[in-house]
Amino acid sequence: MFTLDEAFAPVANFVNSLVFFSVKVGNVEVPLVVLWLGCGSIAITLFLRFLNLRGFAHAWKILIKGAPTDHNTKGEISHFEALSAALSGTIGLGNIASVPIAIVLGGPGAIFWMLVAGFFAMSTKFAECALAVKYRKIGVDGRVSGGPMYYIEEAFSRLKLPKTGKVVAAIYALMAVGASVSIFQINQSYAQFERVTSVKAPLIFGIVIAALVAVIVLGGIRSIARVTSRLVPAMCVIYLSAGFVILAVNYAVIPSVFQEIFAGAFGLDAAAGGAVGAMINGLKRATYSSEAGTGSSAIAHSAVRTNNPLTEGYVALVEPFIDTIVVCLTTGLIVLVTGAWLADVPMGIGMTSLAFESVFPWFSYILCVSVILFAFSTAVSWAYYGSKAVGYLSGNNPRVDVVYKLALCAVLSLGATVELAHIVDFIDAMLFGMAIPNLLAVFMLLPELKRDITRYEQTLKAG
């Protein structure tokens, strides 16, 4: 029977061939977009003189105490709510299902390069989120429209190419709309739900999740922030607590696991393409998890209430630390210490599930709850990102916004009922493709951002 996924295959294959154009390094195919992201994050970190380290303590201070505001402060949500909304988009199945895939394809060494990528991604998040706040648009009703679309326009305007800037920003927005279809999240969360409960009701599951997403996203960023500021901490605590129990039970093998990670990272074993294979798979999964460089999180961060765009830049650099360095590392370690990555089960969430069940059989229920929460929160945030992209393309037409959100939720409701291989490939290509215009604009505005940081740091020193 000819499926929707098969019908979509020609489009997905064409887009993938463009976005993931690869060169061969040794025996490993290296997508140029992954190098663009990895090298870009390193360049930003060096140019900003390791702001991800220098500003880390200050970021937590802003997050805990908040930045100074007054009655004229623009924005819709607090720093914590902005971070929670952004984290709800990045902490998803990429943290649970993609990490084991990176280990299988690149060996344990992929974990090391995933952490390295997360470290440099902190600087990229700072840059794109600070710029998103600086160049956001505030409507007469106080609603915020922000994200890479607006600073892409600004960057090209500096080159006296305003029309080109609008075209590039529109291309970015179109890719963001494509990436916003979080159908993979619904599909994989149902797979875990069915595995644990043996209940076969994919359409009902999809409709329930999609309806809940619709209720929240139709309320805008304030509604999203209210939910995610409670949901994100809860789901992190549930997942990490269970993960720490597994690590505690397997504490004796943790030292040998770290030896495997370092040996694989530097090619001391011949498995999985050696150091290059470990590096590329680690970088790919870190990008898929944190989305640093794609500019997606900047859309949520741009809605923050602040008088200084840099304050949200500092808060944003915490995001890859939590998402990649904490959550992804926990997933990687539990899959390695339990040996689940070597088991004869489907790559991805099946391995993570097996790792949880290896301690106590009922741990699979904890994972099931975590997966559904992660999938739901990601769908909510990406629906908002997509709506802002549609808003940019439609001139913020409220009717178009509602139609888009309802249409998206209708598609999501079918997520558990269809085959997704080529559809997911297309969505991934859209996500990685966003990094090309986004980082280009960030690089163009980086000298200006560095000057802003220098003035900000001087102000801090002056008290």
All domains of the chain in start order, with CATH: 4-67+74-458 (1.20.1740.10)
What is the C-alpha to C-alpha distance for residues 340 and 118, in angstroms, rounded to an integer? 24
| pLDDT for the residue numbered 174 | 95
| pLDDT for the residue numbered 375 | 86
| pLDDT for the residue numbered 202 | 87
| pLDDT for the residue numbered 65 | 81
What is the C-alpha to C-alpha distance for residues 267 and 279, in angstroms, rounded to an integer? 10
| pLDDT for the residue numbered 134 | 93
User: Tens place of pLDDT for every residue, the chain, 463 residues?
Assistant: 446 667 677 877 888 888 888 887 666 677 888 889 888 999 999 999 999 999 999 999 988 887 776 667 787 888 888 888 888 777 777 778 778 888 887 788 888 888 888 899 999 999 999 999 999 988 887 788 889 999 999 999 999 999 999 999 999 999 999 998 888 888 888 888 888 888 888 889 999 999 999 988 888 778 888 888 888 888 888 888 988 999 999 999 999 999 888 888 776 554 444 556 666 666 666 666 677 889 998 998 898 888 889 999 999 999 999 988 898 899 999 999 998 888 877 777 788 888 888 888 888 888 888 888 888 888 888 999 999 999 999 988 889 989 999 999 998 888 888 776 677 788 888 888 999 999 999 999 999 999 999 999 998 888 6
What is the C-alpha to C-alpha distance for residues 270 and 268, in angstroms, rounded to an integer? 7
Which pTM was predicted?
0.89
| pLDDT for the residue numbered 273 | 47
| pLDDT for the residue numbered 184 | 81
